[in-house]
Structure 1
Amino acid sequence: MVEIKSNAASVEFRGVTKIYGKSKVPAVNDISLLIETGKLVTLLGPSGCGKTTTLRMIAGLEFATQGKILIGDRDVTRLPATERDVSMVFQSYALFPHMTVRENVEYGLKFSGFTRKETTDKARAGLELVGLVDYGDRLPSQLSGGQQQRVAVARALVLEPQVLLFDEPLSNLDAKLRRHVREEIREIQQKLGLTVVYVTHDQEEALAVSDRIVVMNNAIIAQEGTPRELYDQPANAFVADFIGEANIFDCEVESVDNGRAKVRLGPLRLDLPAGSHKTGPAKIAARPRRILVRDAQSAGTMPGRLLKVTYVGSHLEFMIDTELGPVFAVSPEVDTPFAAGQAVGVALPERGPVLISA
């Protein structure tokens, strides 16, 4: 029985810059990045940050103005897309409407030197992998959006590329289907050990599927790390606010000793990991779920008044007026007696707030 195999290879950017035409503003500015073999790495960021340009340079659809791009040990910087062992799954699926599902999956194989039997067998294996083996005779118009996306994935997989690229693959699907298809993509990637580079602007999607996330902003890499590292230890206010929601507060680092910082945050005194911070002005990022709303008389809290309490089923959302400005907090305690207009105490537990650059 024919199986889809992995020919996974690493991807490396060395000081890569991309400038379009006569523009003096780089779309990608001097980025260096290593994507390890067999990992799923997501390029995440707002529109215009450079993530899609980076993906297209891996594919050979754009060429670097400066720097070097390697796939495995091979320098592909100046190679066209046809000479790179890369497959891409587009946002629009890009299926041929007049071809059946099977013919769409077979299309690339016909130009890759396979016999008719090998082409048929590989296409079947690809459709089995995405759970559509019984849909081979249908046209794309007879499939749901999620099924069409899975056909596009199968068409890319059967070519057994060194690198598989996804460009906003789930943006045309509804929320429930997005969750289902992203789980399928992740399962296939892990099962085959594929090297995948995945572009999205959806933070939840990136956190759910990635081994590592590269957050881009204004053509540079703002921070790179595992989903948990980026969520728990954002390097700056942009990353803190882009990867999930965060309250950003001005604070003062009063002293640093043995890797710990004594921090003054309004009336609160906090003991936090110092990282690379020294004494002086800084900022604190605090996730809404890690801010505690207590009775007004509770010790170690900052005085506040509830502006709004919103019940959203699984949790309560609080908007609190404090001397530091408005604070957004989330609590799973849906039966809490707190109500709008009530005086409360706001606490930041030891595990939660993070020092970031001012």
Structure 2
Amino acid sequence: MAGVGSRAASVVFENVTKIYGRNVVAVNDVSLRIEPGRLVTLLGPSGCGKTTTLRMIAGLEMASKGRILIGDKDVTTLPATDRDVSMVFQSYALFPHMTVLENVSYGLKFSGYSRTETRDRAMAGLSLVGLDGYGGRLPSELSGGQQQRVAVARALVLEPEVLLFDEPLSNLDAKLRRHVREEIREIQQKLGLTVVYVTHDQEEALAVSDEIVVMKNAAIAQIGPPRALYDAPADTFVADFIGEANLIGCEVLSVAGEMAEVAVAGVRHRLPARGLKPGRATLALRPSRIRLVEGEGLAATVEKVTYVGPRMEYTLAGDFGRIFAVSDNVDTPYRAGDAVTVGLAASGPVLVPDAR
């Protein structure tokens, strides 16, 4: 198992298109490069093409146009059996009649290892995912999180060049999802694996990824590290999809160098222009970065108050429209009907182009 990271390979898509039937375009002219040893997440709404992209890496779907390379090898036309990749499925796909050890050993039996070496590698895989002593159990005797770890161990023991995850946490409850995603990230970093990970959960993507590929309508909307996508979304679609955003109208009054002066409901504010010119524009405000302040800002009224334990959630209304805000102050919350002022912090709002 120690050699896994050294086998990590890059994944390259060169103008890849996937068409089903005569004219159903599932992936449209996608080009991207995933560096060895990185965890890259394909993120987007249902039907955007992320799972089809993953399945083309695996060889479970064939590209209609373009090239796919794993390492320096062109795998575009190779079947799944001839690609050095392993996939962890949403359903785990464990054999119910086999023990945990037999499930993890299954793929190794076809790899030319002796019985002793197969067993040793499977035991090492279980140890890696924290399941020492569970080898004799059946999948039905495990929790959902433990079954997921068995599926990960089964993929890892094959020492693939690329490890693929298809919505791996969607069957787990919220608390367990957080725990298992941390384990997956820790294993990936420890072994230096190249991982391509598909999810529709924005928080999950932000938590585990080196880079995120946001997909929309079968194409790439934006690629970048989690913080870059959160702080500088390419357009209103990415702003709204990554971590949620309030999108409100504004007017770019003037641009000087890289800075713009904007007006929002009569309040002026300076912030990076991000290539926009004077005229109507859209401002993205993250709920967690909205500050209710004394003094200058956007006048608003609290319409709705919700207590969710560690924080308060507010719906605020004003001349700018309605926005959603959160606050850690649960001891002295605002009440519905309260007049408040929304402060425009220097690092809070960001100008975003409209999505195409």
TM-score, length of structure 1 as denominator length? 0.96
Quote the Cα distance in structure 1 between the aligned partners of 2:174 and 2:342: 33
- How do residues 1-358 of structure 1 correspond to structure 2 at under 5 angstroms? 3=2, 5-6=4-5, 7-22=7-22, 24-295=23-294, 298=295, 300-336=296-332, 338-358=334-354
| 1:4–1:125 CA contact under 8 A, matched in 2 | no
In 2, the alpha carbon distance for the partners of 1:310 and 1:119 equals 54
| Shift of residue 311, structure 1, vs aligned partner | 2.5
The answer on whether the counterparts of 2:252 and 2:277 sit within 8 Å (CA) in structure 1 is yes
C-alpha spacing 1:40/1:337, structure 2 compared with 1 (3 Å)? closer
Instruction: String of CA shifts for 1:117-143, please: whole Å, max 9, x gaps.
Output: 211111111011011120111111111
Does the CA-based 8 Å contact 1:16-1:66 persist in structure 2?
yes
Q: What is the alpha-carbon distance in structure 2 between the residues aligned to residue 259 and residue 357 of structure 1?
A: 15
Distance between the aligned counterparts of 2:174 and 2:68, measured in 1?
Answer: 35
Q: Secondary structure at the match of 2:302?
A: strand
CA contact (8 A) 1:4 1:122 kept: no
Alpha-carbon shift at residue 277 of structure 1 (Å): 1.4
In structure 2, distance between residues paired with 1:4 and 1:122: 12
**Which range is displaced more, 185-194 or 319-328?**
319-328
Partner Cα distance (2:30, 2:185) in 1: 26
- 1:317, 1:166 → 2: CA distance? 33
Contact kept? 2:310, 2:328, Cα under 8 Å: yes
Deviates more, 1:4-13 or 1:36-45: 4-13
Residue 337 of structure 1: CA displacement?
A: 5.6
Whichever residue aligns with residue 281 of structure 1, its letter is R
Mean alpha-carbon deviation: is it higher for 308-317 or for 118-127? 308-317
Q: Output the amino acid matched with 1:98.
A: H
Structure 1 residues without counterparts, runs of 5 or longer: none
- How far 1:273 moved relative to its partner? 0.8
Q: Secondary structure at the match of 1:14?
A: strand
One-letter code of the match for 2:149?
R
- Residue pair 1:290, 1:348 contacting (<8 A) in 2 also: no
1:8-32 CA-to-partner distances (Å, cap 9, x unmatched) read 000011111100112x231011111
Deviation readout 1:288-328 (Å, 9 max, x if unpaired): 12112234xx2x21222111222222222221110111121
Matched to 2:133, the amino acid is D
SS in 1 for 2:252: strand
Contact 2:300/2:317 (8 A) holds in 1: yes
Distance 2:314 2:109 in 1: 58
Give the root-mean-square deviation of aligned CA atoms: 1.3
CA separation in 2, counterparts of 1:195 and 1:180?
Answer: 21
Mapped contact 2:4–2:193 kept (Cα < 8 A): no
Give the whole-Å Cα distance in 1 for the aligned partners of 2:266 and 2:216: 34
Identity across aligned pairs (percent)?
Answer: 69
* Contact 1:4–1:126, Cα closer than 8 Å, also in 2: no
* Aligned-partner residue type, residue 168 of structure 1: E
Distance in 2 (alpha carbons) for counterparts of 1:133 and 1:3: 18
The residue matched to 1:133 in structure 2 has which SS?
A: coil
Which is worse superposed, 311-320 or 225-234?
311-320
Give the 3-state SS of the residue equivalent to 2:255 in structure 1: strand
Distance (whole Å) between structure 2 residues aligned to residue 168 and residue 203 of structure 1:
12
1:123-173: CA deviation from partner (whole Å, max 9, x where unpaired): 111011011120111111111111111111011000000000000011111
> TM-score if structure 2 supplies the norm length?
0.96
Structure 2 stretches lacking a partner, 5+ long: none
Instruction: Tell me the secondary structure at the aligned position of residue 107 of structure 1.
Output: helix
Question: Following the alignment from structure 1 to structure 2, what is the Cα–Cα distance between the partners of residues 51 and 205?
Answer: 15
Moved more, 189-198 or 320-329: 320-329
Q: CA deviation at 1:63?
A: 0.6
| 8 Å contact from structure 1 (residues 4, 158) kept in 2 | no
Structure 1's 337 and 133: CA in aligned 2 closer, same or farther, altered over 3 A?
closer
Whether contact under 8 Å (1:12, 1:71) holds in the other structure is yes
Q: Deviations over 1:214-265 (max 9, x none)?
A: 1111111111111111111111111111111211011121211121111111
Q: How far is 1:37 from its partner?
A: 0.3
